[in-house]
Amino acid sequence: MTDDNFEPNIIAFTCTWCGYPSANLAGVNKIDYPANVKIIRVMCSGSVDPAVVMQALERGADGIIIIGCLIDNCHYVEGNKNAEERADRLKRLLNVLGLDSKRIRTEWINASERVKFANAMREFVDEIRELGPAPHIPAPKRKELTSEEIKKEISRIIEDTGAFDCVECGKCTSVCPVARFDTEFAPRTIVLRSMEGITDNLANDKDIWTCSTCEMCNSMCPYKVNYSGFIQGLRGTAMQLSNSPVCSQGGLIQSAIRIMAGADLKQNRLDWVTEDLEIAEKGDVFYFVGCLPHFDAIFADREYLELTRTAQSAVKLMNAAGIKPAVSNEERCCGHDLVWSGDEENFLKLMDKNLELVKNSGAKKVVFTCPECIRTFEMDYKDFAEDIDFEIVHISDLLVQLIDEGKLSLPSMADEIIATYHDSCRLGRHMGIYDSPRSLIESAGMKLVEMENTREKSACCGVSAWLSCNSAAMRMQLERLEEAKKTGAEVMLTFCPKCRIHLSCAANEELPFDRERVNIITKDLTVALAELLEGK
């Protein structure tokens, strides 16, 4: 590292039974170890939430060391094993992010092993000193808003989103999937409060985070109020008032995304690229992969989701049609989850980086598999940035076009599969893409059976932007799975990786009813199509 004076900031999480006593004993015995280490005592190494580790790295720590009892000697039997497993997943994530997996370390030390403790600290500090500082992200700046300014800001949001036209008819609440299960939540009353100038509650209004931004209400509102836009606006303002959301995964994912908004990172986003895939550095067509590699690391315990296979499949399909797409290791998260969590500042940083990247690639067309990424480019980027002159296409539209032009042909399936298709809210209601996925399913020779709520009426997976994952969301997910199961389909196809993550989450819970009711495989449609090429 170039900076010779760099002194790393190290956080050590020590368990109360072995880790902490060993540190204590090192002190009592006057055994030296570097002052860089700040010790935080926890009951068990297994109680260290990965989100806390991530947040520490985001906000100033350069290395994290977790110290627990010797394996098989955990006071809580398996706590340290859990910690180990989590640390492994975090390391994978750090690796993708380009933070270097060495920044996280686990050590299993007996209460009496004071020397081992001191040595471990010394070694770790040296190692991190060698690595240099982690790219810290300052906490978002808060403007000090006066109540007049808040009022003004809310008026602007009301104007911009057409909420001014709201007649308080309540259709939004009657169709809102969240309101159905969470009786405290009523979208109409949020508009009503804002319209009546009741703004003092914005600083602690939890309702604005409860909305899943599924746009069911947008599609129903007789006065075309852009309700999701209204919520997005309020969230941005609420953040200024330090009203922040409760994030699922403890905010781990938001932290990771914010890290992507920061400094130069030596990311490893392209590990999924296998030799058989033809990709380019520059070219007419850019494939924006999104955060599949990150989710693959975070949800490594659900290997069956095979998230990065989506990216591989997309490239395979494009290759089959003679397209060699550009993909980039420098890509950043599109920022969807930040803009919907009210963090406009970091969102804009991500946007600038991605737009610059696309520009430098010379692409005329950017292809997306992720419904959230395409929505973010098509709507949010276009909202915030002016010079977007490339075409934004979803893989489903692209494939349909390629098939129509005779450039791609999908071999038909040997045995006809019965499939149902889940319109994710982003691809469906937000983007209006309903037909291409269906036509692909049919050209692949599958038999498509529709769920009760489909297309514009499609039920949402319940969670968006990793917010408000709660019992209402869980019930929405189970209901959706049940709907899919009822069609008699063997598989539920979709394009949204997050829908699959959320739905798998619900299906893995302990259920008060027979699991068979919701037991259906979900599969990415891109993957299903690429499998045809492979003759599966």
- Asked if residue 477 binds ligand SF4 (CB under 6 A), the reply is no
Distance of alpha carbon 114 from the chain centroid: 41
- Asked if residue 286 binds ligand SF4 (CB under 6 A), the reply is no
The token pair that represents 322 in the structure block: 């003679």
Residue 372 touches which of another protein, ligand SF4, none (Cβ within 5-8 Å per kind): ligand SF4
The token pair that represents 327 in the structure block: 């993909």
* Tally of CA atoms within 13 A in the half-sphere of 216 that contains its CB: 25
- Asked if residue 259 binds ligand SF4 (CB under 6 A), the reply is no
Residue 174 touches which of another protein, ligand SF4, none (Cβ within 5-8 Å per kind): another protein
352: left (phi over 0), alpha (psi -120 to 50) or beta: alpha
In contact, 350 and 333? CB cutoff 8 Å: yes
Give min distance, CB of 487 to ligand SF4, in A: 23
- Asked if residue 304 binds ligand SF4 (CB under 6 A), the reply is no
Q: How far apart are CA 532 and CA 526, in angstroms?
A: 10
Give min distance, CB of 404 to another protein, in A: 31
In contact, 96 and 55? CB cutoff 8 Å: no
Spell out, one character per residue from 213 to 252, where the chain touches ligand SF4: x when CB under 6 A holds, - when not.
xxxxx---xxx-x-xx------------------------
Q: What three-state secondary structure class fits 299?
A: coil
Give min distance, CB of 246 to another protein, in A: 22
Part of the chain binding ligand SF4 (CB under 6 A), chosen from 91-99, 170-178, 411-419, 442-450? 170-178
Q: How far apart are CA 287 and CA 420, in angstroms?
A: 26
Q: What burial letters (b/e) apply to 452-476, b meaning 16+ CB within 10 Å?
A: ebbbeebbbbbbbbbbbbbebbbbb
In contact, 453 and 402? CB cutoff 8 Å: no
Give min distance, CB of 511 to another protein, in A: 25
Give min distance, CB of 157 to another protein, in A: 19
Q: Which residues bind another protein (CB under 8 A)?
A: 165, 167-176, 179-180, 183, 186, 188-189, 192, 220, 222-224
- Asked if residue 50 binds ligand SF4 (CB under 6 A), the reply is no
- Cβ-based nearer residue to ligand SF4, 77 or 198: 198
- Asked if residue 336 binds ligand SF4 (CB under 6 A), the reply is yes
Q: Letter for the amino acid at 251?
A: G
Q: How far apart are CA 461 and CA 505, in angstroms?
A: 11
Q: How far apart are CA 422 and CA 457, in angstroms?
A: 11
- Asked if residue 172 binds ligand SF4 (CB under 6 A), the reply is yes
- Asked if residue 167 binds ligand SF4 (CB under 6 A), the reply is yes
- Cβ-based nearer residue to another protein, 159 or 416: 159
CA–CA distances in Å: residue 460 to residues 43, 161, 207, 255, 455: 38, 22, 18, 25, 11
| Binding residue for ligand SF4, selected from 72, 130, 149, 168, defined by CB under 6 A | 168
- Cβ-based nearer residue to ligand SF4, 351 or 444: 351
The token pair that represents 279 in the structure block: 């990709």
- Cβ-based nearer residue to ligand SF4, 295 or 434: 295
- Cβ-based nearer residue to another protein, 74 or 191: 191
Q: How far apart are CA 53 and CA 63, in angstroms?
A: 9
Give min distance, CB of 338 to ligand SF4, in A: 8
Radius of gyration, CA atoms only, the chain: 25
- Cβ-based nearer residue to another protein, 226 or 248: 226
- Cβ-based nearer residue to another protein, 207 or 331: 207
CA–CA distances in Å: residue 308 to residues 126, 256, 289, 300, 423: 35, 18, 9, 11, 20
- Cβ-based nearer residue to another protein, 176 or 460: 176
Q: How far apart are CA 348 and CA 298, in angstroms?
A: 24
CB nearest ligand SF4: which residue? Answer: 291
Tell which positions 174-213 bind ligand SF4, by CB under 6 A: 176, 178, 187-188, 191, 211-213
- Asked if residue 427 binds ligand SF4 (CB under 6 A), the reply is no
Give min distance, CB of 177 to another protein, in A: 10
Interface residues with ligand SF4 (CB under 6 A) are 166-172, 176, 178, 187-188, 191, 211-217, 221-223, 225, 227-228, 290-291, 333-334, 336-337, 370, 372-373
